[in-house]
Amino acid sequence: MHRGIARLVLVLVGFFAAVLMGFGPAQAEGPSITAIVTGADKAPISGVTVNVAGPDGFTGSGETNAEGQATIEVPAGGKYTATVDVATLPVGVEVKSGPERTINVLQGDKKALFPVVPAGEGGDSGGGGGGIFSDITVDRVLQLILDGIILSLIIALGALGLSLIFGTTGLSNFAHGELLTLGAFTVLVLNTTLGLNLIIAAPIGIVISAALWGWGQNQILWKPLRRRGTGLIAAMIVSIGLAIALRYTILFFFGGSPESYAQFAGQPGIDLGPVFVTPKAIILSIIAVIFLVAAVAWLKGSRLGKATRAVSDNPALASASGVNVERVISVVWVLGALLAAYGGVFLGMTQNVVWTMGQFLLLTMFAAVVLGGLGTISGAIVGSFVVGITVQLSTLIVPPELKTASALLLMIVLLLIRPQGLLGRPERVG
């Protein structure tokens, strides 16, 4: 056993050494604004100049690339104004709702969308009234619901593993978000550093993540802690420390700038009536559904899946009945890391690969698990859809920076009404 652990440590050291040689040390970069200019068919428009003005007289500008994106670095957080230079737009078009956007930069990368429509169809130029609900339309609501479903699938991929780990070990794993980040960056290394096509790199990276970050993490850290009788509160604190360590290790190696995979970036969308979606989002969503259905079917139908549920219900009784509890826990870690890794790749392909991607989703995953009902397989998935759709729809009335807070508020309100969650079973106390 000790030799096996030693070999695994050597593999980890070798992997990080390879990453270090490929990328070198990088420092965190300041926040930035990414302006995205797209046409009526959602295709990117290149060669458009975007000017940014902000506090203390700051000014900056950038020109959109082939993906319709122009990134302008800003010195610090604050309120900025991004303006499209209309003289650089193609002839006969204008920016919908006016060429100017006010952007409140908190940290990291902030996006500003500039959809371009035929001249005369731009609508309100930004000075009109109408109140907080003036921009709510049926098309926008439907688009946000679709975006919410896609986000829900990503949350569900992480929340299911988080729920299983909690059910079998009692651990509230605050490092689970980093499993998404590690999966995304593992595939990024295979794709951009080793030159593998993303279609080949993704499955290889997901399998590596399941073995290295799932099984390996349990063998090196959590299994020894369980053997020593470490309490759940202490284990939770360890998971918080692990999350911080992993997060800043990734920042050190890869830097703070968003990264993109070599293939399928800047893909134009497809109009589906009142909504639009990219082909990669459709394919990734279908694969995510297959992953989730297969995981639930395995947990409910296979012998090992039934053993997993038995351990979740009563580990001592399951062990007395002949179930190898440690083997079940190892399998759960592998499954949780595998689902999380695919969730990270999904998020990286539809947005960007960035060192904080798992951190931003962690609270929504916890909210989904608690909202659906602790210890329930289906509850984690149902809770994910409630949280994901709520997060996106909340942007109709609150700034995007506060959208996660809306899901947490919903969780609090629902738990006041139904403490066991949507699908959880009420328990007697006393």
The pLDDT of residue 224: 93
Query: DSSP for 170-183?
Result: ----TTHHHHHHHH
What are 249's two structure tokens? Answer: 């290790």
Side chain identity at 382, as an amino acid letter? Answer: V
pLDDT per residue rounded down to tens, the chain (430 residues): 444 444 444 444 444 444 433 443 344 456 788 888 887 666 788 888 999 888 877 888 888 887 788 888 888 777 888 899 888 888 778 887 778 888 777 655 677 788 877 776 555 444 444 444 545 678 788 888 998 999 999 999 999 999 999 989 988 999 999 999 999 999 999 999 999 999 999 999 999 999 999 999 999 999 999 999 889 999 999 999 999 999 999 999 988 888 889 888 766 777 777 787 888 889 999 999 999 999 999 988 889 888 988 888 888 888 888 888 899 999 999 999 999 999 999 999 888 889 989 988 998 999 999 888 877 788 889 999 999 999 888 888 877 777 888 888 888 888 888 887 777 766 554 4
Dist. CA 297–CA 56, nearest whole Å: 58
- Residue 71 CB-density burial (10 A; 0-12 exposed, 13-18 middle, 19+ buried): middle
Dist. CA 41–CA 39, nearest whole Å: 5
What are 306's two structure tokens? Answer: 């039934």
Dist. CA 381–CA 160, nearest whole Å: 7
Residue 409 and residue 386 in contact, taking contact as beta carbons nearer than 8 Å = no
In whole angstroms, how far apart are CA 246 and each of 153, 175, 181, 185, 301? 24, 8, 9, 12, 35
What are 302's two structure tokens? Answer: 């296979």
What are 409's two structure tokens? Answer: 């508020």
Dist. CA 404–CA 398, nearest whole Å: 10
What are 351's two structure tokens? Answer: 């947005």
What are 280's two structure tokens? Answer: 């990669």
| H/E run at residue 8 | helix 2-23
The pLDDT of residue 120: 63
- Residue 142 CB-density burial (10 A; 0-12 exposed, 13-18 middle, 19+ buried): middle
Could you tell me which CATH number the domain at 32-126 has? Answer: 2.60.40.1120
The pLDDT of residue 19: 41
Residue 31 and residue 77 in contact, taking contact as beta carbons nearer than 8 Å = yes
| H/E run at residue 84 | strand 78-84
What are 418's two structure tokens? Answer: 């139904």
**Residue reference for tokens 């007697």:** 428
Q: Which of 143, 109, 111, 159 is nearest to 343 (CA)?
A: 159
Query: Could you give phi then psi for residue 60, rounded to 5 degrees?
Result: -160, 165
Dist. CA 50–CA 213, nearest whole Å: 41
Give, in degrees to the nearest 5, the angle at Cα 32 between 82 and 188: 130
The alpha carbon of residue 43 and the mean position of all alpha carbons in its chain are separated, in whole angstroms, by 24
Residue 243 and residue 29 in contact, taking contact as beta carbons nearer than 8 Å = no
Query: Could you give phi then psi for residue 385, rounded to 5 degrees?
Result: -70, -40
Q: Which of 243, 344, 259 is nearest to 23 (CA)?
A: 259
Q: Which of 402, 391, 405, 404 is nearest to 150 (CA)?
A: 391
Could you tell me which CATH number the domain at 143-417 has? Answer: 1.10.3470
In whole angstroms, how far apart are CA 392 and each of 142, 143, 144, 316? 11, 9, 6, 42
The residue count for the chain: 430
Beta strands in 255-352 (DSSP E): 270-272, 275-277
**Given strand 32-38, what is the order of strands in its sheet?**
69-73, 32-38, 109-118, 93-95
| H/E run at residue 115 | strand 109-118
β-partners of residue 44 are: 38
Q: Which of 361, 406, 174 is nearest to 414 (CA)?
A: 406
Is the fold of 32-126 the same as that of 143-417? no
What are 85's two structure tokens? Answer: 């230079």
Query: Could you give phi then psi for residue 158, rounded to 5 degrees?
Result: -80, -40
Q: Hey, where are the domains in the chain?
A: 32-126, 143-417
Q: Are strands 49-53 and 59-63 parallel, antiparallel or unpaired?
A: antiparallel
